[in-house]
Amino acid sequence: MAKWSCRVACPPWHQGFVSSLPPIVRLSPLWGCAMKQDPKGVCVSKGGRFPPYESEGKPPKPVGKGSKDLTLCQVFRKRTCCSPAQTNPAFVAVRNLATFGEASQECQHLFELLECSICNPNVGVQPGPPRICASFCDKVFEACKDAYFASNALTQMIGPCGVNDIICVKTSNWGSNGTSFCEAAGFSVQTNADSKDKPCYGSKASLEPVVESSWRRKPKKKKTPLKTETLSCFKDLLQWVRVMTTIQKVSLGVSFVVAGMFLIRQWNNRNRKQRLVAIQRAARRLGGKANGNSYSAAINRRAVQS
């Protein structure tokens, strides 16, 4: 439905009431203000497996750093409908693809682009699921045909194989082309060419900001100090843990405990072996001295007897 606004101040109930009237009555001066269509798009939740926008009904806006920052798709931070509510599931999906999906680097990059479509400001103001160009779906399908995906029992849509998935199947078994793959993943597909009247995500124009910000080759930087690298890795670990489910956090904790016990056991075994080698070395030295003393004593005894 088109969004309408008044030229002059009206009561809060006025806008919804007047917009429901016939066009001729709607423009009547009886209502104190005329209605005109608002040209600015507002965020419209995508439905399906995609969480609703917190900025529903508002135009895309910049996202600041901090707790409200995007955990993924930060290339759209300057203007987007997204919040962590959208990027957290996308982050988990991309992480699962790399960890359990056995995906190539190209597949991971293209699938991340696909998941970030919901944060594109042009996609955010379109009604319905994210509209993806068929040509881009074909590229993702070709790159990810050997990666493993699983079906979600709740949404009936496919996603990268996760730690709790029992049956995981290669992408090539979920469809014969990119269109069927994208539709199975919850996206809508536009088969005809991209146009200004009906743009689709994945065209050259829609991906230019991403290419310029993230995938353009950058000049080599000076080596980062070890302390800075460690701090960066620690921040990445905290961000990773923040989006994990309770079961995944418990599993991670158990894994750390088991790994710690294994390392301690290895360290103890190494120390035990080192002590054993030292004892054997000392014993050989003592044995050599003892044999030498025995030989000298035997010579002395023979000298006395003669």
Angle at 15 between CA 10 and CA 18, to 5 degrees: 110
What is the residue whose two structure tokens read 């690298």?
Answer: 229
> pLDDT at position 209, please?
61
pLDDT tens sequence for the chain (306 residues): 444 444 344 444 444 444 454 444 343 444 444 333 344 589 999 999 999 999 999 999 999 888 888 999 999 999 999 999 999 999 999 999 999 999 999 999 999 999 999 999 999 999 999 999 999 999 999 999 999 999 998 889 999 999 999 999 999 998 889 999 999 999 999 987 666 677 899 887 777 666 555 544 444 555 545 555 556 666 666 666 666 677 777 777 777 787 778 888 777 777 666 766 666 666 565 555 545 555 455 545 554 554
Supply the pLDDT for residue 151.
93
Q: Are strands 35-37 and 4-6 parallel, antiparallel or unpaired?
A: antiparallel
pLDDT of residue 301: 55
What pLDDT is recorded for position 264? 83
34 CB-side CA count, 13 A: 5
Residues 110 and 140 sit within 8 Å (Cβ to Cβ): yes
Cβ atoms within 10 A of the Cβ of 93, count?
Answer: 20
Q: Are 103 and 111 in contact (CB under 8 A)?
A: yes
Name 150's bridge partners: 159
Rounded to whole angstroms, the Cα distance separating 88 from 70 reads 8
Phi/psi at 189 (5° precision): -120, 135
